[in-house]
Amino acid sequence: MRLDFLVMKQAIRDVASKDEKLSNQALSYFISDDFKSLCSRNKINLETVQKSIKELNQYPLLSRKKLANDIAKVIDNRFVGGVLSR
């Protein structure tokens, strides 16, 4: 489970990358069967995450980077940290 959240966190950061190819690969991940499986395994609302990623991608690069880092911190605090402390 921890690995799932680390993968998701990195994919969110990659969406905000200035490397357009990397960003596009990350966006593709969020509509992949692998991501659907990750959401199912972890009881994450797939549609909500996909909508949020789509909205994140609409922001200018600098804003996207800041928001992606903020989201990564939330994932660390709520999910990764919680799994480690069990």
- Give pLDDT tens digits for 65-77: 999 999 999 988 8
Question: How confident is residue 85, by pLDDT bands cut at 50, 70 and 90?
Answer: very low
Q: How far is CA 73 from CA 9, 21, 24, 65, in A?
A: 9, 24, 22, 12
CA-wise closest residue to 72 among 18, 22, 21, 8: 8
Write out the two tokens for 48.
């909500």
Answering whether pTM is above 0.75, one says yes
Q: Where are the alpha helices (DSSP H) in the chain?
A: 2-15, 20-29, 33-42, 46-57, 61-75, 81-84
Residue 4: pLDDT over 60: yes
> Which sequence spans correspond to the domains of the chain?
2-84
Alpha-carbon dihedral of residues 63, 66, 67, 70, nearest 10 degrees?
A: -170
Dihedrals phi, psi of 43, to nearest 5 degrees: 55, 50
pLDDT digits (tens, 9 = 90+) for 17-34: 999 999 999 999 999 999
